[in-house]
Structure 1
Amino acid sequence: MKKITILVPAYNEQEVIDQLYDRLNKVIDTVPNYEFEILFVNDGSRDNTVQIIKSLRAFDKRISYVDLSRNFGKETAMIAGLDYATGDAVIILDADLQDPPELIPEMIKYWEEGYDDIYAKRRNRAGETWFKKWTANTFYKVLQKTTRIPIQQNTGDFRLLDRRCVEALKQLRETQRYTKGMFSWIGYQKKEILFDRDPRAAGETKWNYLKLLDLAIEGITSFTTAPLRISAFFGFVISFFSFIYMIWIITKTLVFGESVQGYPSLMTIMLFMGGIQLISLGIIGEYLGRIFNETKRRPLYFVHEYNDEKVQNEMKQASLPKRGV
């Protein structure tokens, strides 16, 4: 009997965990001949999320949980879940029920047909402002044009991954993660499922505009060096025109004997050039910061508990559960 892990990253989701479990339970009952594991990754929640998960596990042993030592962020919580998932396939599902668990049987059907990555693409984004939709579309267009990897648009983390996709993702241990791009980067056979996204079932979103901007920067700097090339291109163009302008000023002064004037224009050019230089230094700084963080070689996360047992993190790799155990 094949085993499927449903991976649910959770951060302060006490208001929706019970609803999520009820819907998952109904879906699982419609899919016979499979063994299921519901794996929650508690990402340092400050509410009663982990206590609710433990209470559910007390009467349903299909539930497992990884309790991280602090809040590491959703991207890290997902790789922690992949490390601890024991299924032949893993379905990543947000706890807020914006992505419907009722699509799981269809995902399993395509998985059995031979697809490795069955991802859900949104037809619409209910509960989101027009500005958020516009910025998301703009970001994906920019990312698709600046990278050689075909980044999927209007898709989230809701997908089924075959075990070989999971093992591939587990090898990508970079600290600053953009998992949506990694799904595309590893390749394999992919299948798209369209759906209408619902608003949150309860609670508030953890993704404000500042965090979304940070995620967008991670996406761009993780999968393309286009910003560095663009800054170099602007530097070349501005230097070229500055050289032409300098020749013009010198020639005009020598031939016509005009005195050098134009203090306002001179200050404007200096401020403009200073701004371009600061932007270029900022872009270089983003990439240098990534190099700095990667060279420290710190673990991606630490685990406080796994299924009611405290974890000795220095032996984490040796103590990870084996698939099928």
Structure 2
Amino acid sequence: MKLSIVIPCYNEEENVALFYNEAVNALQDIICDTEFIFINDGSKDNTYNELIKIVDNTSYDVKIIQFSRNFGKEAALLAGLENAKGDYVSVIDADLQQRPAYILEMISILDEDTDYDCVAAYQEIRKEGKVLTFFKDCFYRIINKMTEVEFVKSASDFRTLRRNVVDAILSLHERCRFSKGIFSWVGFNTFYMPYRVEERLNGNSKWSFWKLFAYAVDGIVAFSTMPLVIASIIGIILFIISIIFMFVIIIKTVIWGDPVAGFPTLASLLLLTAGIQLLCMGILGQYLAKNYTESKQRPMYIIKEIIDKKK
């Protein structure tokens, strides 16, 4: 098997058939040596029935992995990689914002240069609003300063991997997964290929600003302990400032007889220190929560059904 295509799906009833037809047309040269792996991540619409129609009417290798509920894209990616058998494995969304034709370009790059182990697509022209672009840029600047691995700006999960890269990714058994970080952490030589993101044909994006923010926090916590160091430094600085401030008040009172600062000053200091303490406790809580999740050793996903159509 030359190529496995991993396609996570969540509420994509209007897109899966369009995606499959476009992929078949784009990959005609290697379609007989290609398998499609659709992971239905607990969709609440008619995605499952649309996938069944694809299986019933296709003459190519198509597998449907049906989750028992929605476990998230990270779980769907893992399930797809664990079930992929190809020498090359491509990860792509079903919404057709990432065109299947790019997969041929990725394979061509890997075939022509054996030094590369992975081809990752990045947005050459960003189409998000200025506010979202600003926050994404801030995220990449922050995480690259906090971690030892490099996070390439605008690089997406849309990529094609050699089998050795897939095996390395699957060797990591962590449950709190952040794929962008894992792709970088395992290393290997990666070629970053520019591509153009298309407009969604149907449906709405599953990513809101707050979901992206939570995802960014997960990424920082998963690949850096720097927030804990920062929290400790803040605590040390506040302790030193409080000691200095205490001596200043004592000296002013003894020498000049100045009264101790009144309620507004005291209230402001209490609010400041309490806020910083809560911030540091929140940072610590994020790490404790990840450890708690890992310690339970629950599976990342539960499969309700697998439908495997072989040609």
TM-score (norm 1): 0.91
Using the aligned pairs only, state the percent identity: 36
* Equivalent residue number for residue 117 of structure 1: 118
* Contact 1:76 1:300 (C-alpha < 8 Å) held by counterparts: yes
CA distance in 2, matches of 1:26, 1:257: 87
The whole-number CA distance in structure 2 between the counterparts of 1:258 and 1:211 is 52
Tell me whether 1:77 sits opposite 2:76 in the alignment: yes
CA contact (8 A) 2:63 2:308 kept: no
Residue deviations 1:124-146 (CA, integer Å, cap 9, x gap): 133x3222222111111111111
Give the Cα separation in 2 of the matches to 1:187 and 1:247.
52
Distance 2:300 2:203 in 1: 28
Correspondence list, 1:14-33, <5 A: 14-31=13-30
Q: Within 5 A, what are the aligned runs for 1:86-105?
A: 86-105=85-104
Which residue does the alignment assign to 2:157?
Answer: 157
Out of 53, 56, 62, the position equivalent to 1:55 is 53
Partner Cα distance (1:131, 1:225) in 2: 27
Two-structure CA RMSD over aligned residues (Å): 1.8
Counterparts of 1:255 and 1:229, CA distance in 2: 39
- Cα-to-partner distance string for 1:185-219 (whole Å, 9 max, x where unaligned): 00011111111211212111111112111101111
Q: Is contact 1:6-1:92 (8 Å) kept?
A: yes
Match of 1:231 in 2: 231
Q: Distance in 2 between matches of 1:6 and 1:29?
A: 14
For residue 78 of structure 1, report the CA deviation from its aligned partner: 0.3
Q: Which residue of 2 aligns with 1:313?
A: none
**Partners in 2 of 1:215 and 1:63 — Cα distance?**
30
Pairwise CA distance, 1:268: 0.8
> What does the per-residue CA deviation read over 1:291-321, in whole Å, with 9 as the maximum and x for residues that have no partner?
1110001111110111169xxxxxxxxxxxx
Q: Which runs of 5+ in 2 are unaligned?
A: none
Distance 2:85 2:64 in 1: 12
**d(CA) in 2 for partners of 1:46, 1:259:** 66
Report if aligned partners of 1:31, 1:105 keep a CA contact under 8 Å in 2.
no
Aligned residue-pair number: 308
Deviation of 1:26 after TM superposition, in Å, equals 1.0
Contact 1:122 1:154 in 2 (8 A): yes
Distance apart, 1:257 and its partner CA? 3.1
CA contact (8 A) 1:9 1:42 kept: yes
Q: How does 1:193-272 map to 2 (within 5 A)?
A: 193-272=193-272
Q: For each residue in 1:51-82, what CA deviation from the matched residue of structure 2 results, as whole angstroms up to 9, or x when unmatched?
A: 11111112323111111111000011100111
Distance across 1 between alignment mates of 2:308 and 2:63: 9
1:187 paired residue number? 187
Q: Cα 1:239–1:228, aligned 2, differ >3 Å: closer, same or farther?
A: same
Amino acid at match of 1:139: F
Q: After TM superposition, give the deviation of residue 281 of structure 1 in Å.
A: 0.5
What do the CA deviations read for 1:77-114 (whole angstroms, capped 9, x no partner)?
10011111111111000011111211111111122221
Question: Equivalent residue of 1:294, what SS?
Answer: helix
- 1:38 aligns with 36
Secondary structure at the counterpart of residue 211 of structure 1 = helix
Contact 1:39 1:63 in 2 (8 A): yes
- TM-score after normalising by structure 2: 0.95
Query: Which amino acid is the alignment partner of residue 125 of structure 2?
Result: N
1:262-287 deviations in Å (ceiling 9; x for gaps): 22111111111111111111110111
Local SS of the residue matching 1:125? coil
Listed as ranges, the gaps of 5+ residues in structure 1 are: 310-323
**Separation in structure 2 between the aligned mates of residue 237 and residue 261 of structure 1, nearest angstrom:** 21
Question: Are 1:135 and 2:140 matched, yes or no?
Answer: no
Q: Counterpart amino acid of 1:48?
A: N
**Residues of 1 paired with 2:126 and 2:15: CA distance?**
19
Given residue 40 of structure 1, which amino acid in structure 2 is its aligned partner? F
